[in-house]
């Protein structure tokens, strides 16, 4: 089958046809998807009802899985519903019941409704994330994406020069603090030690520059925290203007891939008394501090 991609948005996001994600892909298909990712940054595959093992196998065509045993994963192994290699982004507990509204895991999940780039709080942030829809609630729960390449390009030259060498510190502590969730254990506080990331990153395949923003970014090296927070908030507002944003209304069987090195995303609200079962595989990227 020939791989083809139909744009879903004026600046990024494409819908792929000609790929069955259950199958082992040919080199040509892998190359076509990678090329599509380099151009569109977010790709939508329809009607892919995958098992966890099939999603993991498909993901591994494009790189190396992120290691979920590293610190920073909130659900301890014994409390997880799914096997290794795939992350549970549902609102279900390990028994398959809807988690309570005061569950700490739910508090962490709520922070995903802030704009972010996956694993920007890790020294090696994520390359691609792949999210599959298994069970969807009756309304809401869109995932929104913002193109950080277009956002960078749209900055004026003075601003580009001002941010050229800025370094931010990212941590889950900052993004959870932003929604008033500060009740972290000493182990979590130690595991979420801030990491340094450049504010501008260069894509290793395309050479395109983008803003490396994320709600995990809480300080700028050498700045006061209030000045840094306001500056990052202003930049995030710029970067998430509607012209740079695509909102994805999920259908069962959708599989989305996004490039965390070129985009931010956020989850949207839904009725948490309904089941939302979505599952994510993640590919590890490269150290952004070295990619400039």
> What is the C-alpha to C-alpha distance for residues 182 and 187, in angstroms, rounded to an integer?
13
Is 118 or 147 the residue whose CB approaches Fe ion more closely?
118
Residues 6+ away with beta carbon under 8 Å from 259: 37, 38, 41, 42, 127, 128, 203
Applying CB under 5 A, which of residues 93, 118, 147, 254 lies at the interface with Fe ion?
118
**The tokens of 217 are what?**
């970014």
With contacts defined by CB under 5 A, name the span among 111-119, 135-143, 189-197, 222-230 that binds Fe ion.
Answer: 111-119
Q: How many CB atoms lie within 10 A of CB 84?
A: 13
For residue 276, how far is the Cα from the chain centroid?
17
Contact 162/214 with Cβ under 8 angstroms? no
CB of 157 to Fe ion, least distance (A): 32
CB of 122 to Fe ion, least distance (A): 13
**The tokens of 284 are what?**
């590890």
CB of 161 to Fe ion, least distance (A): 31
Is 201 or 265 the residue whose CB approaches Fe ion more closely?
265
Of 7, 30, 13, 48, whose CA–CA distance to 251 is shortest? 48
Is 118 or 169 the residue whose CB approaches Fe ion more closely?
118
**Residues of span 160-189 touching Fe ion by CB under 5 A:** none
Residue number of the CB closest to Fe ion reads 118
CB of 201 to Fe ion, least distance (A): 17
Q: What is the total count of residues that contact Fe ion (CB under 5 A)?
A: 1
With contacts defined by CB under 5 A, name the span among 114-122, 164-172, 209-217, 238-246 that binds Fe ion.
Answer: 114-122
> What is the C-alpha to C-alpha distance for residues 279 and 134, in angstroms, rounded to an integer?
8
With contacts defined by CB under 5 A, name the span among 27-35, 112-120, 159-167, 230-238 that binds Fe ion.
Answer: 112-120
Q: How many CB atoms lie within 10 A of CB 288?
A: 24
CB of 254 to Fe ion, least distance (A): 16
Q: What percent of the chain is helix, strand and coil (3-state, nearest 5)?
A: 30, 25, 45
CB of 143 to Fe ion, least distance (A): 8
* DSSP state at residue 41: S
Is 130 or 232 the residue whose CB approaches Fe ion more closely?
130
Of 19, 239, 223, 263, whose CA–CA distance to 117 is shortest? 263
Is 3 or 176 the residue whose CB approaches Fe ion more closely?
176
Is 29 or 119 the residue whose CB approaches Fe ion more closely?
119
Is 29 or 281 the residue whose CB approaches Fe ion more closely?
281
CB of 165 to Fe ion, least distance (A): 27
End-to-end CA distance of the chain: 37
CB of 240 to Fe ion, least distance (A): 14
Is 118 or 254 the residue whose CB approaches Fe ion more closely?
118
Question: Which residues lie near Fe ion (CB under 5 A)?
Answer: 118
């Amino acid at each position: 089958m020939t791989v083809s991609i139909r744009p879903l948005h004026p600046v990024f996001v494409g819908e792929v046809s000609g790929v069955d994600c259950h199958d082992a892909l040919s080199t040509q298909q892998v190359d076509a998807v990678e090329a599509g990712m380099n151009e569109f940054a977010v790709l939508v595959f329809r009607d892919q009802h995958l098992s966890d093992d099939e999603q993991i196998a498909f993901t591994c065509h494009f790189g190396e899985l992120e290691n979920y045993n590293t610190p920073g994963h909130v659900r301890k192994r014994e409390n997880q519903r799914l096997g290794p290699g795939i992350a549970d982004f549902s609102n279900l507990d390990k028994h398959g019941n809807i988690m309570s509204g005061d569950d700490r895991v739910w508090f962490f999940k709520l922070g995903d409704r802030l704009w972010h780039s996956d694993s920007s709080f890790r020294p090696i942030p994520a390359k691609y994330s792949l999210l599959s829809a298994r069970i969807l609630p009756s309304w809401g729960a869109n995932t929104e994406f913002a193109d950080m390449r277009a956002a960078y390009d749209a900055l004026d030259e003075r601003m580009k020069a001002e941010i050229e060498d800025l370094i931010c510190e990212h941590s889950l502590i900052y993004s959870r603090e932003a929604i008033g969730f500060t009740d972290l254990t000493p182990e979590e506080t130690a595991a979420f030690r801030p990491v340094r990331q450049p504010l501008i990153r260069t894509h290793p395949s395309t050479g395109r520059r983008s803003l490396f923003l994320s709600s995990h970014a809480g300080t700028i090296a050498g700045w006061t925290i209030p000045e840094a927070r306001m500056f990052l908030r202003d930049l995030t507002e710029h970067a998430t203007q509607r012209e740079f944003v695509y909102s994805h209304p999920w259908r069962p069987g959708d599989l989305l891939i996004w490039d965390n090195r070129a985009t931010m995303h956020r989850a949207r609200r839904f009725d948490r008394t309904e089941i939302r079962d979505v599952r994510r595989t993640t590919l590890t990227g490269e150290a952004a501090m070295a990619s400039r």
